[in-house]
Structure 1
Amino acid sequence: MKILAIIPARGGSKGVPGKNIKELGGKPLLAYTVDSVKESRLIDKFILSSEDEEIIKIARDLGVEVPFVRPESLAQDQSGSIGVVQHAVDYFEKKGEFFDAVILLQVTSPFREKVFIDQAIKKFIKSDADALVSVLPVPHEYNPHWVFEENEKGDLKIATGESEIIKRRQDLPNAYFRDGSIYLTKTEFIKKGSFFGEKLSFIESNPETYVNIDTLTDWEKAEKMLSDM
């Protein structure tokens, strides 16, 4: 299976200004994801997608291929990641280079374990899924079978639609939330505008090394985690 890795890194972050190249532990945040991709043995090509000249320069200094400048229309606050990936796939296919799947690796999840990417790819291939995402377990108190939502009368109903609540924690099914560290999808579904396809597999991240940096509080958490590693 031929796999393209894409690191999306636009400028203009508001939660943590300049976060993609802001130094964390003495190196740009971007470098952590670059290092994790370089450790992979199963990725055929990896690139950075950005519209920002400074980010592009630093990425190239880190040894990352930057084959194009991302269109400004795909670098706005409301721009979705699927459009960014579709643009990259289209760019390469116009040059006669085709990939079976794309793995999207966000800079905001810097502390992937050394073999995590290849473990994800191996599970993706073995499962013959359309897509795979990284996840973390939902704490039992937030399990969807214990979550309520308001109905049209202003009363509460169980979010899953069941008439009776599951009484014992031990009887709750496992539930997960996608953590944003890995999105791995067959190219045919990327072209259809989906990261998830019809058959979705998953891999669990390590909660002890996981952080998703979106705010200054997240950044401070990452600094503390790094100092404890």
Structure 2
Amino acid sequence: MILGHIGVRKGSKGVPGKNFKPLCGKPLIDWSLEPLLANPRVGAVVVSTDDPVIHDHALGMGTLDIGLRPDELATDAAPKWEVWQHALEAAEAALGREVTAFVDLDATLPLRLPADIDGALDLFEAERPDMVMSVCEARKNPYFNLVEPDESGALHVSKPLPGGVWARQAAPTVYEHVGIVYVLDPAYLRRAETIYEGRVIPYVVPAERSVDIDNPFDFRLVELLMRERLALGDGINPIPPIPPAS
């Protein structure tokens, strides 16, 4: 059985309460929770949170109850990996069985499509890696236009190659890690201590679906893009105007 997971804390420094903040008519988390619950390949869904309001909301949506997240996993410094491990263990205890794949969605990337979940699952089933991780092609490249200072303060390309790289197209491809979807082998999640210990392969998504909400500007940008998507997909229901920033 495939287990779906969303991890959200009640605290947020960049956008207070962002995981439950309304976005185009529903809480931000629902843009990730609904496609997980609707996917017929996902047998159960859990939400790992320290927020009783989000916990009760998720249960009302039909998620499996694993209780509130332990305090030590509800801090800014808590590793995502340990949150995943706790959720897997708690879910398997509640289910009384082991799961065959662990699918995680970051709630702060609501522009994903349902097809992204299936695409990552298809890749996982075809390749059988330890983990599938969503990525998008990086906007800046350390072989070409990312620079860093040396001891004297002079700038140099971060990852120089012999002869240099003088055109973006000639630079090696690099990716940005984005949390649109992860699919993990539960055995790998149980035994490993960090993400990159095993064979982690990319699931490539477009940059326009990879906007991660980290601050108020990101939230407004995602809201604008989501309203545009809804307007194009549904000409019946009007989209209310975006309120001015407070």
Give the TM-score taking structure 2 as reference length: 0.83
| SS of equivalent residue, structure 1 residue 189 | helix
Q: 1:27 to 1:50 in 2, by over 3 A?
A: same
Alignment partner, residue 53 of structure 2: 54
* 1:94, distance to aligned residue in structure 2 (A): 4.7
Assess if the C-alpha contact under 8 Å between 1:36 and 1:112 holds in 2.
no
Q: How does 1:140-219 map to 2 (within 5 A)?
A: 142-146=140-144, 147-152=146-151, 154-191=153-190, 192-219=192-219
CA distance in 2, matches of 1:162, 1:220: 39
Alignment partner, residue 119 of structure 1: 119
* 1:23, distance to aligned residue in structure 2 (A): 1.0
Assess if the C-alpha contact under 8 Å between 1:185 and 1:197 holds in 2.
no
Give the TM-score taking structure 1 as reference length: 0.89
Percent identical pairs in the alignment equals 29
For residues 38-90 of structure 1, what are the alpha-carbon distances to aligned partners after superposition, in whole Å with 9 as ceiling and x for unaligned? 23232222111112111111112222223221111110111111111111222
Instruction: Give the aligned CA root-mean-square deviation in angstroms.
Output: 2.0
The amino acid that maps onto 1:40 is N
For residues 81-140 of structure 1, what are the alpha-carbon distances to aligned partners after superposition, in whole Å with 9 as ceiling and x for unaligned? 11111112222455642123322211111121121101111011212221111111112x
CA distance in 1, matches of 2:215, 2:62: 28
* 1:161, distance to aligned residue in structure 2 (A): 4.8
Q: Which moved more, 1:86-95 or 1:10-19?
A: 86-95
CA distance in 1, matches of 2:211, 2:156: 33
CA distance in 1, matches of 2:224, 2:91: 40
Aligned residues: 226
Q: 1:93 to 1:224 in 2, by over 3 A?
A: closer
CA distance in 1, matches of 2:51, 2:119: 31
Which ranges in structure 2 are unaligned for 5 or more consecutive residues? 230-246
Q: 1:206 to 1:163 in 2, by over 3 A?
A: closer
Q: 1:93 to 1:61 in 2, by over 3 A?
A: closer
